[in-house]
């Protein structure tokens, strides 16, 4: 079984068309779903890791409104009420900037986790429509599975992005929160080309993988499948690099 799994993996990486000739696309839907779920989990954990890395780079505090103190008008007009019991607390409190940054990043966790499923749904619709426009005969289940397989190359880009961010922030210390964005932009500038290259390689891998899958799934020629996949992926790559 292990040898068979390794052979299938090797075939998928080296010749996706041959892989999907041996494995019906629709039958691989559970594996595709696992890939998408795994990517969602990985993105969620990566978001927490990014928040932690940014927090470690901050060495400053900021003054902010005290959430435990009632508004000034309450303290002025209802000084004797129970609501005004906390009016003796300071109007401003000092917070660690790193903690605030980490909390801000964590607020996006839900959006990040759901994004792979949204892209899976959109990718399925686009891939099915592109295959039909190219004259193919794709099945709904098979197309959904293929769109899910596109999550596999994203693990490569995610890994490169995290490594690049870790290296970029290794020696960065932000002591002035007001200049935080400028400092981060300067620190990330040297690694941005590597992230861009990883993005291009990821999309090329997706194009190669989906071309082979759509060729078998929709009964298309290699050229027609490559065009059907390449046009939407090319638009996606253009938006990702802007």
The dihedral sign for the CA sequence 205, 217, 6, 155: positive
* Chain segment 187-240, per-residue pLDDT in tens: 999 999 999 999 999 999 999 999 999 999 999 999 999 999 999 999 999 988
Predicted TM-score (pTM) above 0.85: yes
> What does 35-83 look like in DSSP terms, one character per residue?
HHHHHHHHHHHHHHHHHHHHHHHB--EEEEE-TTSPPHHHHHH-TTSGG
Given a cut of 70, whether residue 113 has pLDDT beyond it is yes
pLDDT score for 202: 97
Q: SS3 breakdown of the chain: % helix, strand, coil, rounded to 5?
A: 80, 5, 15
Where along the chain do its domains lie? 17-59+97-241
pLDDT, tens only, 137-187: 999 999 999 999 999 999 999 999 999 999 999 888 888 888 888 988 999
């Amino acid at each position: 079984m292990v040898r068979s799994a390794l052979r299938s993996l090797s075939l998928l990486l080296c010749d996706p068309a041959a892989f999907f000739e041996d494995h019906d696309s629709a039958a691989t839907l559970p594996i595709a779903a696992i890939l998408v779920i795994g990517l969602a989990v990985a993105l969620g954990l990566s978001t927490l890791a990014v928040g932690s890395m940014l927090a470690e780079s901050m060495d400053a505090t900021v003054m902010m409104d005290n959430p435990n103190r009632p508004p000034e008008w309450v303290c002025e007009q209802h000084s004797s009420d129970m609501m005004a019991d906390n009016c003796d607390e300071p109007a401003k409190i000092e917070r660690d900037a790193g903690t605030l940054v980490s909390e801000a990043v964590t607020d996006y966790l839900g959006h990040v986790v759901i994004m792979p499923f949204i892209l899976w749904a959109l990718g399925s619709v686009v891939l099915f429509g592109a295959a039909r426009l190219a004259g193919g005969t794709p099945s709904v289940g098979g197309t959904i599975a293929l769109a899910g397989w596109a999550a596999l190359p994203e693990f490569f880009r995610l890994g490169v992005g995290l490594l690049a961010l870790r290296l970029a922030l290794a020696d960065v210390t932000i002591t002035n929160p007001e200049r935080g964005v400028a400092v981060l932009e300067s620190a990330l500038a040297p690694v941005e080309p590597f992230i861009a290259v990883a993005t291009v390689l990821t999309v090329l891998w997706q194009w190669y993988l989906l071309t082979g899958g759509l060729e078998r799934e929709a009964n298309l020629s290699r050229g027609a499948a490559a065009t059907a996949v390449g046009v939407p992926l090319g638009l996606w790559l253009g938006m990702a690099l802007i």
